[in-house]
Structure 1
Amino acid sequence: MTFVHRLSDLAYGAGWGVVRGLPEPMARGMFRSFADLAVRRNGPSVQQMRRNYARVVPKAGGAELDELVRAGVRSYARYWMETFRLPAMDHKEIYRRVNDVMVGMPLIEAALERGKGLVLALPHTGNFDVSGIWLVGHQGPFTTVNERLKPESLYQRFVDYRESLGFEILPSEGGAYRILMERLRANKLVCLVADRDLSKRGIPVTFFGEETRMPAGPARLAAVTGAQLLIADNQFTDDGWSLRIHTPIQVHGREDVPAATQRMADAFAADIATHPTDWHMMQKLWLADLDEDRQRALQESP
């Protein structure tokens, strides 16, 4: 384990060990201060968020982009503050609050009535773990995938965290796709964060007018199993969260996977455009932001 990996593991461990015990106003103020400090430092991640928001709100001037970035980093800090506190929060109360404002429940019920499972695809918006708590309360456990982080102890912290919320977690490597198919064929739910895949496996899409790639998994799973594909829109509100399920996508065979992935990207874009500061994308997403060698590598045949 490298020093950086060990330091990351200790930092996240401290988050789950300390932040969860702080009074909420104190935790909220502390994370907002961290966010504002990050904006003032204007490191590479903050600069990338600004470039990403410039695509989402192309008419924004400099001052408006400054405000979008400030609000976006604060929103991201809120996500992490809640992440560290969720295991100790009242999940029944979270379920009730989301359920009171949730939109699109009949789409979930109709998809499961078909008996072929349901794939929920979502971007990095709001607090999707809160939406997951609602889904567990409404429907029971669902299955999702976690990136295999390093060190292994940090990956296990995230697995333990999300399992404590009632999710079934699969590693991104090691047969996850086969198990996801099994869950869908048993008429279960699969949830996948799906707004970024800058690999040769990603499907080329147009997103806010520029080329990028998104994961094939949601559409491919729907094509192979006959499952319904739905979009989940997670947002923060001033005093809570909202969740909207929409855009039923039926994938008609493997040949329809690229077109279905584009429809998924279009639905993500429409949601993100209505509340851009809840989209926590601080990484390079569009191919135009990659260096020439990386762009060339993606264009080469696998």
Structure 2
Amino acid sequence: MRTAARVSDLGYAAAWRLIRLLPRRWALRSFEIAADRAARGGGPDQLRRNLSRVLGTTPDAVPDDLVRESLRSYARYWCEAFRLPSMDPVRLAETIESSATGIEHIRDAVARGAGVVLALPHSGNWDLAGVWVVRRLGTPTVVAERLAPESLFQRFVRFRESLGFEIIPLTGVETPPYDQLIARLRQGRIVGLLGERDLSGAGVPVDFFGESATMPPGPAKLAIETGAPLLPVHCWFTPDGWGFDIGAPIDTTGGVTPTTQRLADRFATGIAAHPADWHMLQPLWTADFSAERLARIEARRSRSR
């Protein structure tokens, strides 16, 4: 296991050095070829199951073309991630701003001085949304899942810090991430969270595309406790660039559960509009969870009662 993790780390290190040296067209084409190979035989089962919920059909009825385009979109994200350190951030911010909608929502929120919670699904290139925030509004604070080995985790931390982000590890820190995020918001700072995948196993039950799922309570809790606006952000790819939409503030009345449901509904709208750009290859719906994971969730809920 350690050997495999080390090989993975070295692979990422090589990609960050080499992919940026290739012409953009060559780099993208090489990643597309890899995605097309992954799509052979129907593609990853979990991706197909997830897309079937978005389309309201069965996994077998999900078009093969959509699975292939989804894998190409995911590959494009990684290709751009490896090339980002050599891309011009000023020009990127200008390009993003020219195509983004709803920018007034985040500017109005920043002007209030109460901090801002940006919640995003794993769609399009969310790192570029952060690049725009850095160039136009200041340093955003984001939470990073701790990867193994530690060298790989630190490599991703350095990558996002090079873009201008402040990184708070999800685990392994003296001060809990939630407390640190509360402090940043009370300083009037911007916090960005990927918000549809529950990593803790203590998520909020929501209805997502008509089925039961769980989503992290963090975005709703932070907004409710600090009074910071909760803005849903959606990112997607266009043939020649990127699309971004910053939604109007989420209504936080009624507590964490209804607020998280409203956020899930906004996510669903964006994902349905751009299903190929939603990079979710892991189980998200309760029906796909293993018996072991369901037992852990129930144990946590029992302890919190």
In structure 2, C-alpha distance between the alignment counterparts of 1:270 and 1:69, rounded to whole Å: 19
Gaps of at least 5 residues in structure 1 are none
TM-score (norm 2): 0.94
- The alignment's C-alpha RMSD in Å is 1.6
Q: Which amino acid aligns with 1:33?
A: I
Q: Which amino acid aligns with 1:144?
A: V
| Aligned 8 A contact 1:226 1:251 in 2 | no
Query: Alignment partner for residue 147 of structure 1, among 121, 136, 145?
Result: 145
Question: Do 2:19 and 2:83's aligned partners in 1 also have CA atoms closer than 8 Å?
Answer: yes
Task: Sort the Cα spacing of 1:63 and 1:119 in 2 relative to 1 into closer, same or farther, 3 A.
Answer: same
- Assess if the C-alpha contact under 8 Å between 2:52 and 2:62 holds in 1: no
Residue 159 (structure 1) aligns with: 157
Deviation at 1:153, TM superposition (A): 0.4
Shift of 1:61: 8.3
Separation in 2 of the partners of 1:182 and 1:289? 36
Give the aligned partner of residue 11 of structure 1.
11
Residue 63 of structure 1: how far off its partner (Å) = 6.5
Deviation at 1:200, TM superposition (A): 3.6
Output the amino acid matched with 2:280: M
Please give the alpha-carbon distance, in whole angstroms, between the structure 1 residues aligned to 2:267 and 2:88: 30
Matching of residue 130 in structure 1 with residue 128 in structure 2: yes
In structure 1, what is the Cα distance between the partners aligned to 2:165 and 2:276?
26
Residue 240 to residue 98, structure 1, CA distance change in 2 (3 Å): same
CA distance in structure 1 between the aligned counterparts of 2:7 and 2:80, rounded to whole angstroms: 21
After superposition, the Cα gap between the structure-2 partners of 1:160 and 1:257, relative to the gap in structure 1 and judged at 3 Å, is: same
Q: Provide the residue aligned with 1:274 in structure 2.
A: 273
Instruction: Output the CA distance in 2 between the equivalents of 1:241 and 1:217.
Output: 27
Q: Paired residue for 1:248?
A: 249
> AA paired with 2:35?
A
Q: Answer yes or no: is the 8 Å Cα contact 2:141–2:165 preserved in 1.
A: yes
Alpha-carbon shift at residue 250 of structure 1 (Å): 4.0
Identity %: 49
1:23 aligned residue: 23
- Quote how far apart the aligned CAs of 1:290 are: 1.6
SS in 2 for 1:155: helix
1:32 counterpart residue number = 32
Per the alignment, residue 283 of structure 2 pairs with 284
Provide the rounded CA distance (Å) in 2 between the counterparts of 1:9 and 1:163. Answer: 18
Distance 1:156 1:117 in 2: 27
Is the contact made by 1:247 and 1:267 (CA closer than 8 Å) also made in structure 2?
Answer: no
CA shift at 1:251, angstroms?
A: 2.4
Deviations 1:12-35 (A, max 9, x none): 001101111111111011000000
Give distance in 1, aligned partners of 2:17 and 2:265: 39
Cα-to-partner distance string for 1:41-96 (whole Å, 9 max, x where unaligned): 656xx111001000100247856521110000000000000000000011111111
3-state SS in 2 of match to 1:248 = coil
Are the equivalent residues in 1 in contact too, given 2:105–2:248 (CA < 8 A)? no
Flag structure 2 segments of 5+ consecutive residues without an equivalent.
Answer: none
1:109, 1:12 → 2: CA distance? 35
1:247 partner SS: coil
SS at match of 1:231: strand
Equivalent pair of 2:48/2:59 in contact (CA under 8 Å): no
Q: SS state of the match for residue 252, structure 2?
A: coil
- Residue pair 1:198, 1:213 contacting (<8 A) in 2 also: no
Structure 1 residue runs of 4 or more that deviate by more than 6 Å after TM superposition: none
- CA shift in 2, pair 1:60/1:145, >3 Å: same
Deviation of the 1:247 alpha carbon: 3.2
CA distance in 1, matches of 2:120, 2:246: 10
C-alpha distance 198-208 of structure 1, shift in aligned 2 (>3 A): farther
State the TM-score, normalized to the length of structure 1. Answer: 0.94
Is 1:221–2:222 an aligned residue pair? yes
Aligned partners of 1:149 and 1:278: how far apart in 2? 23
Secondary structure at the residue paired with 2:85?
A: helix
Task: State the shift of 1:178 in Å.
Answer: 1.3
Alignment of 1:108-127 (within 5 A): 108-127=106-125
What CA distance in whole angstroms lies between the structure 1 residues aligned with 2:33 and 2:136? 35
Q: Residue 263 of structure 1 aligns with which residue? A: 262
* Aligned 8 A contact 2:51 2:59 in 1: no
CA contact (8 A) 2:48 2:62 kept: no
The equivalences for 1:54-203 within 5 A come to 54-59=52-57, 62=60, 64-173=62-171, 174=173, 175-197=176-198, 199-203=200-204
Deviation at 1:211, TM superposition (A): 0.7
